[in-house]
Protein backbone atom coordinates (compact mmCIF):
# COMPACT_ATOMS: atom_id res chain seq x y z
CA UNK A 1 0.00 0.00 0.00
CA UNK A 2 1.40 3.42 -0.96
CA UNK A 3 2.16 5.68 1.99
CA UNK A 4 0.13 8.88 2.15
CA UNK A 5 2.12 11.93 1.07
CA UNK A 6 3.58 13.95 3.92
CA UNK A 7 1.38 16.94 4.80
CA UNK A 8 2.48 20.54 4.34
CA UNK A 9 3.51 22.96 7.04
CA UNK A 10 2.83 26.41 5.60
CA UNK A 11 4.88 29.33 6.92
CA UNK A 12 3.55 32.81 6.22
CA UNK A 13 6.51 35.15 5.81
CA UNK A 14 10.19 34.63 5.02
CA UNK A 15 12.01 37.55 6.63
CA UNK A 16 15.09 36.94 8.77
CA UNK A 17 13.18 35.75 11.87
CA UNK A 18 10.82 33.62 9.78
CA UNK A 19 13.89 32.19 8.06
CA UNK A 20 15.09 30.84 11.40
CA UNK A 21 11.77 29.00 11.64
CA UNK A 22 11.89 27.73 8.06
CA UNK A 23 15.47 26.46 8.37
CA UNK A 24 14.71 24.57 11.59
CA UNK A 25 11.51 23.02 10.27
CA UNK A 26 13.14 21.96 7.01
CA UNK A 27 16.12 20.40 8.76
CA UNK A 28 13.82 18.54 11.15
CA UNK A 29 12.09 16.87 8.21
CA UNK A 30 8.87 18.85 7.92
CA UNK A 31 7.51 19.43 4.41
CA UNK A 32 7.61 23.23 4.36
CA UNK A 33 6.04 25.71 1.96
CA UNK A 34 6.29 29.48 2.33
CA UNK A 35 4.17 32.45 1.30
CA UNK A 36 5.40 36.04 0.95
CA UNK A 37 4.22 39.42 -0.29
CA UNK A 38 5.28 40.76 -3.68
CA UNK A 39 7.68 43.38 -2.27
CA UNK A 40 9.33 42.10 0.91
CA UNK A 41 11.36 44.73 2.76
CA UNK A 42 13.77 42.59 4.78
CA UNK A 43 16.88 44.47 5.83
CA UNK A 44 18.87 41.39 6.91
CA UNK A 45 18.82 40.28 3.28
CA UNK A 46 21.68 37.80 3.55
CA UNK A 47 19.84 35.87 6.24
CA UNK A 48 16.33 36.13 4.77
CA UNK A 49 14.82 33.57 2.41
CA UNK A 50 12.33 36.17 1.15
CA UNK A 51 15.13 37.27 -1.19
CA UNK A 52 13.85 34.43 -3.38
CA UNK A 53 10.99 36.75 -4.35
CA UNK A 54 13.52 39.07 -6.02
CA UNK A 55 16.18 36.60 -7.14
CA UNK A 56 14.22 33.43 -7.90
CA UNK A 57 15.98 31.53 -5.14
CA UNK A 58 17.88 32.21 -1.91
CA UNK A 59 19.99 30.04 0.37
CA UNK A 60 20.61 30.48 4.10
CA UNK A 61 22.71 27.99 6.08
CA UNK A 62 22.43 25.41 3.33
CA UNK A 63 18.64 25.59 3.01
CA UNK A 64 17.49 26.78 -0.42
CA UNK A 65 14.14 28.49 -0.96
CA UNK A 66 12.88 28.69 -4.55
CA UNK A 67 10.11 30.91 -5.90
CA UNK A 68 7.32 28.95 -7.58
CA UNK A 69 4.14 29.92 -9.41
CA UNK A 70 1.64 27.32 -8.21
CA UNK A 71 1.08 24.46 -5.71
CA UNK A 72 1.97 21.78 -8.28
CA UNK A 73 5.39 23.35 -8.79
CA UNK A 74 5.70 23.67 -5.01
CA UNK A 75 5.34 19.91 -4.67
CA UNK A 76 8.09 19.29 -7.24
CA UNK A 77 10.45 21.73 -5.54
CA UNK A 78 9.86 20.14 -2.14
CA UNK A 79 10.47 16.69 -3.62
CA UNK A 80 13.85 17.98 -4.83
CA UNK A 81 14.81 18.94 -1.28
CA UNK A 82 14.19 22.68 -1.48
CA UNK A 83 11.60 24.96 0.12
CA UNK A 84 8.99 26.38 -2.29
CA UNK A 85 7.93 30.02 -1.95
CA UNK A 86 4.68 31.36 -3.37
CA UNK A 87 4.04 35.09 -3.75
CA UNK A 88 0.69 34.92 -1.99
CA UNK A 89 0.21 37.66 0.58
CA UNK A 90 -3.22 36.42 1.69
CA UNK A 91 -2.30 32.69 1.74
CA UNK A 92 -4.93 31.82 -0.88
CA UNK A 93 -2.93 28.64 -1.58
CA UNK A 94 -4.28 27.10 1.64
CA UNK A 95 -7.25 25.67 -0.25
CA UNK A 96 -4.95 23.86 -2.68
CA UNK A 97 -2.16 22.81 -0.31
CA UNK A 98 -4.47 21.88 2.57
CA UNK A 99 -1.64 22.18 5.12
CA UNK A 100 -1.72 20.29 8.39
CA UNK A 101 -0.26 23.36 10.06
CA UNK A 102 0.02 27.09 9.38
CA UNK A 103 2.68 29.20 11.09
CA UNK A 104 2.21 32.97 10.87
CA UNK A 105 5.74 34.38 10.91
CA UNK A 106 4.98 37.71 9.23
CA UNK A 107 5.90 39.51 12.48
CA UNK A 108 4.14 42.82 11.95
CA UNK A 109 2.81 42.89 15.54
CA UNK A 110 -0.75 42.21 14.37
CA UNK A 111 -2.71 39.40 12.79
CA UNK A 112 -3.12 39.80 9.01
CA UNK A 113 -5.75 37.11 8.64
CA UNK A 114 -4.45 33.87 10.13
CA UNK A 115 -7.21 31.91 11.89
CA UNK A 116 -7.79 28.44 13.27
CA UNK A 117 -9.92 27.43 10.31
CA UNK A 118 -6.90 27.53 7.98
CA UNK A 119 -5.40 24.26 9.23
CA UNK A 120 -5.74 21.66 11.99
CA UNK A 121 -2.77 23.34 13.74
CA UNK A 122 -2.13 27.08 13.78
CA UNK A 123 0.75 28.96 15.40
CA UNK A 124 1.36 32.71 15.58
CA UNK A 125 4.64 34.44 16.37
CA UNK A 126 4.73 37.38 18.77
CA UNK A 127 2.13 40.07 19.52
CA UNK A 128 -1.14 40.16 17.62
CA UNK A 129 -2.28 36.60 18.31
CA UNK A 130 -4.16 34.96 21.16
CA UNK A 131 -3.64 31.25 21.78
CA UNK A 132 -6.98 29.55 22.18
CA UNK A 133 -8.74 32.20 20.12
CA UNK A 134 -7.33 32.91 16.64
CA UNK A 135 -4.47 30.36 16.84
CA UNK A 136 -3.68 27.22 18.81
CA UNK A 137 -0.34 28.46 20.13
CA UNK A 138 1.75 31.61 20.24
CA UNK A 139 5.57 31.70 20.36
CA UNK A 140 7.18 34.53 22.31
CA UNK A 141 9.45 36.78 20.22
CA UNK A 142 10.59 39.31 22.84
CA UNK A 143 14.26 39.06 23.80
CA UNK A 144 14.76 37.93 27.37
CA UNK A 145 13.90 35.02 29.62
CA UNK A 146 10.77 33.94 27.70
CA UNK A 147 12.14 34.16 24.14
CA UNK A 148 10.92 31.12 22.19
CA UNK A 149 8.41 30.09 24.87
CA UNK A 150 5.27 28.30 23.67
CA UNK A 151 2.07 29.92 24.93
CA UNK A 152 -1.05 27.75 24.84
CA UNK A 153 -3.44 30.26 26.36
CA UNK A 154 -3.29 34.00 25.88
CA UNK A 155 -0.91 36.34 24.09
CA UNK A 156 2.78 37.17 23.83
CA UNK A 157 4.33 40.17 25.58
CA UNK A 158 2.88 43.34 24.00
CA UNK A 159 5.03 45.23 21.53
CA UNK A 160 7.13 47.88 23.31
CA UNK A 161 8.20 49.62 20.12
CA UNK A 162 11.82 49.48 21.31
CA UNK A 163 14.32 46.92 19.93
CA UNK A 164 16.00 44.56 22.38
CA UNK A 165 19.20 45.73 24.06
CA UNK A 166 22.46 44.48 22.55
CA UNK A 167 25.76 45.59 24.09
CA UNK A 168 23.98 48.48 25.79
CA UNK A 169 22.20 49.76 22.67
CA UNK A 170 18.50 49.45 21.83
CA UNK A 171 16.66 51.99 19.67
CA UNK A 172 19.99 53.37 18.42
CA UNK A 173 20.67 50.11 16.57
CA UNK A 174 17.82 50.59 14.12
CA UNK A 175 17.77 53.27 11.40
CA UNK A 176 14.62 54.56 9.71
CA UNK A 177 14.19 56.31 6.36
CA UNK A 178 14.52 60.11 6.72
CA UNK A 179 12.38 60.66 3.63
CA UNK A 180 10.20 58.75 1.18
CA UNK A 181 11.90 57.78 -2.05
CA UNK A 182 14.23 55.34 -3.73
CA UNK A 183 16.97 53.70 -1.71
CA UNK A 184 20.45 54.16 -3.16
CA UNK A 185 23.78 52.80 -1.97
CA UNK A 186 26.89 54.92 -1.45
CA UNK A 187 30.61 54.31 -1.69
CA UNK A 188 33.42 54.95 0.74
CA UNK A 189 36.41 57.17 -0.08
CA UNK A 190 38.14 54.01 -1.27
CA UNK A 191 35.40 53.36 -3.79
CA UNK A 192 33.89 50.39 -1.95
CA UNK A 193 30.10 50.12 -1.81
CA UNK A 194 28.71 50.29 1.72
CA UNK A 195 26.61 47.16 2.20
CA UNK A 196 25.81 44.47 4.74
CA UNK A 197 28.90 43.35 6.63
CA UNK A 198 30.63 46.73 6.53
CA UNK A 199 32.19 48.15 9.68
CA UNK A 200 30.78 51.65 10.09
CA UNK A 201 31.34 54.64 12.38
CA UNK A 202 28.75 56.86 14.01
CA UNK A 203 27.88 59.72 11.65
CA UNK A 204 29.15 57.89 8.55
CA UNK A 205 26.92 58.05 5.47
CA UNK A 206 25.73 54.53 4.77
CA UNK A 207 23.04 55.16 2.13
CA UNK A 208 20.71 57.75 0.63
CA UNK A 209 16.95 57.99 0.26
CA UNK A 210 15.76 60.35 -2.46
CA UNK A 211 19.14 62.05 -2.15
CA UNK A 212 18.87 62.52 1.63
CA UNK A 213 21.84 61.02 3.51
CA UNK A 214 21.30 58.10 5.90
CA UNK A 215 23.84 58.24 8.72
CA UNK A 216 25.10 55.52 11.03
CA UNK A 217 23.77 56.06 14.55
CA UNK A 218 26.48 54.04 16.35
CA UNK A 219 29.79 52.32 15.62
CA UNK A 220 29.42 48.69 14.61
CA UNK A 221 28.64 46.16 11.92
CA UNK A 222 26.05 47.03 9.29
CA UNK A 223 24.02 43.88 9.84
CA UNK A 224 21.04 44.90 7.73
CA UNK A 225 20.40 47.28 4.83
CA UNK A 226 17.31 47.28 2.65
CA UNK A 227 17.94 46.42 -0.99
CA UNK A 228 19.05 49.12 -3.40
CA UNK A 229 16.25 50.63 -5.46
CA UNK A 230 13.55 49.78 -2.92
CA UNK A 231 10.86 52.51 -2.80
CA UNK A 232 10.83 53.28 0.92
CA UNK A 233 8.30 55.29 2.88
CA UNK A 234 9.36 57.88 5.45
CA UNK A 235 10.02 56.19 8.77
CA UNK A 236 10.42 52.69 7.33
CA UNK A 237 13.12 50.59 8.99
CA UNK A 238 15.94 50.46 6.45
CA UNK A 239 19.12 49.52 8.35
CA UNK A 240 20.37 47.74 11.45
CA UNK A 241 23.76 48.16 13.14
CA UNK A 242 25.16 45.62 15.59
CA UNK A 243 27.65 47.21 18.03
CA UNK A 244 29.60 43.94 18.41
CA UNK A 245 32.40 43.92 15.78
CA UNK A 246 32.72 40.13 15.87
CA UNK A 247 29.23 39.90 14.36
CA UNK A 248 30.73 40.73 10.96
CA UNK A 249 31.21 36.97 10.54
CA UNK A 250 27.53 36.19 11.09
CA UNK A 251 25.65 38.53 8.73
CA UNK A 252 24.54 35.68 6.46
CA UNK A 253 23.43 33.25 9.17
CA UNK A 254 20.33 32.77 11.31
CA UNK A 255 20.48 34.94 14.44
CA UNK A 256 20.31 33.64 18.00
CA UNK A 257 16.83 35.19 18.32
CA UNK A 258 15.54 33.59 15.11
CA UNK A 259 16.99 30.23 16.11
CA UNK A 260 15.27 30.36 19.51
CA UNK A 261 11.94 31.27 17.91
CA UNK A 262 12.39 28.43 15.42
CA UNK A 263 12.91 26.01 18.29
CA UNK A 264 9.70 27.24 19.88
CA UNK A 265 7.78 26.61 16.67
CA UNK A 266 9.12 23.05 16.41
CA UNK A 267 8.04 22.44 20.02
CA UNK A 268 4.59 23.91 19.41
CA UNK A 269 3.99 21.83 16.28
CA UNK A 270 5.10 18.56 17.83
CA UNK A 271 3.14 19.17 21.03
CA UNK A 272 -0.07 20.12 19.20
CA UNK A 273 0.29 17.26 16.71
CA UNK A 274 0.50 14.78 19.56
CA UNK A 275 -2.43 16.37 21.40
CA UNK A 276 -4.62 16.39 18.29
CA UNK A 277 -3.45 13.08 16.82
CA UNK A 278 -2.19 14.75 13.63
CA UNK A 279 0.65 13.45 11.48
CA UNK A 280 3.24 16.06 10.49
CA UNK A 281 6.39 14.00 9.84
CA-derived radius of gyration, the chain: 19
- State the CATH number of the domain containing residue 223: 2.40.50.100
Looking at the structure, tell me whether residues 12 and 150 fall in a common domain. yes
pTM for the predicted model, two decimal places: 0.95
Q: What is the pLDDT of residues 78-94, one digit of tens each?
A: 999 999 999 999 999 99
End-to-end CA distance of the chain: 18
Which DSSP string do the residues of 128-165 spell out, in sequence order? T--BTTTBSEEE--SSSTTTT-EESSB-PPPP-SSPPP
Looking at the structure, tell me whether residues 30 and 153 fall in a common domain. yes
Looking at the structure, tell me whether residues 24 and 142 fall in a common domain. yes
Does the residue 249 lie in any domain?
A: no
Confidence of residue 2 (pLDDT cuts 50, 70, 90): very low
Q: Are 17 and 214 in contact (CB under 8 A)?
A: no
Angstrom distance (rounded) from CA 16 to CA 255: 8
Looking at the structure, tell me whether residues 70 and 113 fall in a common domain. yes
Taking 90 as the threshold, does the pLDDT of residue 159 lie above it?
no
Mean of the pLDDT values across residues 20-49?
A: 97
Domain span at 31: 8-160+256-276
* Structural domain count, the chain: 2
Looking at the structure, tell me whether residues 119 and 205 fall in a common domain. no
Q: Where are the beta strands (DSSP E) in 74-204?
A: 83-87, 101-104, 121-125, 137-139, 150-151, 174-176, 181-185, 199-200
Mean of the pLDDT values across residues 170-178?
A: 91
Does the residue 193 lie in any domain?
A: yes
Does the residue 182 lie in any domain?
A: yes
Does the residue 25 lie in any domain?
A: yes
Looking at the structure, tell me whether residues 31 and 119 fall in a common domain. yes
Q: What is the pLDDT of residues 55-84, one digit of tens each?
A: 999 999 999 999 999 999 999 999 999 999
- State the CATH number of the domain containing residue 54: 3.40.50
Amino acid sequence: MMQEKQPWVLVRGAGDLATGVIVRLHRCGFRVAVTECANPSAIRRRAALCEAVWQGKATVEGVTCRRVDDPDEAARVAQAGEVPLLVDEHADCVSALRPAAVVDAILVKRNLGTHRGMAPITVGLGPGFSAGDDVDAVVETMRGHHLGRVILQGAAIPNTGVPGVIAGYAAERVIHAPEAGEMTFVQTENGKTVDIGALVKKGQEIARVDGAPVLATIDGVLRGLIREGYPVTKGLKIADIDPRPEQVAYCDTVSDKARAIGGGVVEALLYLARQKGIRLL
